[in-house]
Amino acid sequence: MPGKLIFRQLFDAASSTYTYLLGCPSTRQAVIIDTVFEQHLRDRALIEELELKLVAALDTHCHADHVTGAWLMQQATACRIGISKRYGDAMHGADLLLDHGDRIAFGRRHLEVRATPGHTDGCISYLSDDHHMVFTGDCLLIRGAGRCDFQQGHAGTLYRSITQQLFSLPDDCAIFPGHDYAGRTMSSVGEERAHNPRIGGQADERDFVGFMDNLNLPHPKQLAMALPANLRSGQPEDGKVPQLADWGPVRQTYAGLIEIDPEWVSEHLDEVLVLDVRQPEEMDERLGRIKGARSLPLSELKPRLAEIPQDQPVITVCHAGMRSGQATVILRQGGFTRVANMRGGMLIWQQLGLPVERRAGSA
């Protein structure tokens, strides 16, 4: 097997959803499974920072509890959108219609599709090429199983999916579910076969169906909103990508900071306030300062927030872009909404050959 799989597990706390990013180390091609609409910027930042090329945004099924981020991911990366073809004409926007036995290649690695209906008709599990990992969506959960009481759910079908498609995998095959509500991150086939309270041990189909038909769960809160959106692969009704800012091409990093490129700043100096948060003496050192930059050291920023005008977006700057990143946090906490950190600070500014000012006589 060529190289160790790149693997990240991500969590959306609002819906307790797990998202998985898988990448081929030799080609950097990647797929993402069950990305969440509201987490799009986080997921995209991680893909960019790991220098991955996304080839597909895959869903394990048409979700009822959150909206997929697949369409947003396609807009951002031109990846394909994959989901089961069993949803038929109701599903729009997907261009990779999958069924049992299909393979999804990303570089020199691939996933195998296993049809695992029961929670919905179109539930599929994605199995890694080495059979070391399976992404089960809402079919098999850790010490649980997906509910079967809406969206064509059927407990008998789910029983057969789990016992025939998942429990036939090697005991040490790791199970990564679509959700967990108790902070558990993974399990294994052998472990669930032994200890799953719904379908493990000696449970037969009648035991499982009896259990599942009496869960008495409340109707999912997000269903009325999530289902129509997911049938559009997560495309908003107005067809527009939500903008992070209306004043400039800002980007969110995986660390959660909002940043902007120095090139853009250099071309828009008269439209923004450049706030240099280095110590004043640093501004006269080798790297110099940006023309018109206002000096306010990070250590004094919080008590002096009122001095900063809010009529223009604020671009924070420092030596390498670290202290200025923290400055954006302080500014946002102080009520500033149009704020971005200049990526890479004065070091990158200088590397790009952008103009600086120096006080006469300074080094």
Write each residue from 11 to 50 as x if it is in contact with Fe ion (CB under 5 A), else as -, in one continuous string: ----------------------------------------
Which listed range, 55-63, 108-116, 227-235, 336-344, lies at the site for Fe ion (CB under 5 A)?
A: 55-63
Residue 136 or 341 having the CB closest to Fe ion: 136
Give 138 or 276: the residue with its C-beta nearer to Fe ion: 138
Minimum Å gap between C-beta 129 and Fe ion is: 25
Q: Distance between terminal CA atoms of the chain?
A: 55
Question: Do the strands 80-84 and 53-58 form a parallel or antiparallel pair, or are they unpaired?
Answer: parallel
User: Which residue's CB is nearer to Fe ion, number 138 or number 261?
Assistant: 138
DSSP code of residue 169: S
Stretch 279-338 residues interacting with Fe ion (CB under 5 A) = none
**Residue 195 CB, nearest approach to Fe ion (Å):** 22
Scanning 58-66, 159-167, 240-248, 354-362 for contacts with Fe ion by CB under 5 A, the matching segment is 58-66
User: Cβ of residue 131: shortest distance to Fe ion, in angstroms?
Assistant: 24
Q: Dig out the tokens for 295 from the structure.
A: 């000096």
CB of 180 to Fe ion, least distance (A): 13
Q: How far, CA to CA in Å, does 47 sit from each of 21, 99, 240, 266?
A: 8, 26, 22, 27
Q: Which is nearer to Fe ion, 68 or 235 (CB)?
A: 68
Please give the Cα distance from 246 to 117 (Å, whole number): 43
Instruction: Mark 164-183 with x for binding to Fe ion (rule: CB under 5 A) and - for no binding.
Output: --------------------
| Nearest in space to 120 (alpha carbons), one of 88, 157, 93 | 157
Binding mask 115-154 for Fe ion (x = CB under 5 A): -----------------------x----------------
Size of the site for Fe ion (CB under 5 A): 2
Q: Residue 29 is encoded by which pair of tokens?
A: 């091609």
State the nearest-atom distance from the C-beta of 18 to Fe ion, in Å: 12
In the complex with Fe ion, which residue's Cβ is closer, 32 or 226? 226
The DSSP H or E segment spanning 162 is: none
* Shortest separation between residue 321's beta carbon and Fe ion, angstroms: 40
Burial 118-150 (b: 16+ CB within 10 A, else e): bbbbbbbbbbbbeeebbbbbbbbbbbbbbbbee
Q: Which of residues 194-253 bind Fe ion (CB under 5 A)?
A: none
Nearer to Fe ion, 138 or 192 (CB): 138
Name which of 15 and 165 has its Cβ closer to Fe ion. 15
Q: Is residue 332 classed as helix, strand or coil in its secondary structure?
A: helix
Closest to Fe ion by CB, 63 vs 289, is: 63
Distance of CA 33 to CAs 1, 8, 51, 358, Å? 21, 11, 18, 51
Burial classification of residue 214, based on how many CB atoms lie within 10 Å of its CB (0-12 exposed, 13-18 middle, 19 or more buried):
exposed
Shortest Å distance, C-beta 147 to Fe ion: 8
295 burial level (CB within 10 Å; 0-12, 13-18, 19+): middle
Q: Measured between alpha carbons, how far is 42 from 51 in angstroms, rounded to an integer?
A: 14
Per-residue contact flags (x/-) with Fe ion for residues 59 to 78, judged by CB under 5 A: ----x---------------
Q: In the chain, at which residue ranges do the beta strands (DSSP E only) sit?
A: 6-12, 17-23, 29-33, 53-58, 80-84, 96-98, 103-106, 109-115, 124-128, 133-137, 140-141, 144-145, 174-177, 187-188, 251-252, 258-260, 273-276, 294-295, 314-317, 339-342
In angstroms, give the least distance from the CB of 224 to Fe ion.
Answer: 15
Query: Judged by CB, which is closer to Fe ion: 63, or 80?
Result: 63
Residue showing the smallest CB distance to Fe ion in the complex: 138
**How far apart are alpha carbons 185 and 155 in whole angstroms?**
24
Q: How far is the CB of 177 from Fe ion (least distance, A)?
A: 10
Binding site for Fe ion (CB under 5 A): 63, 138
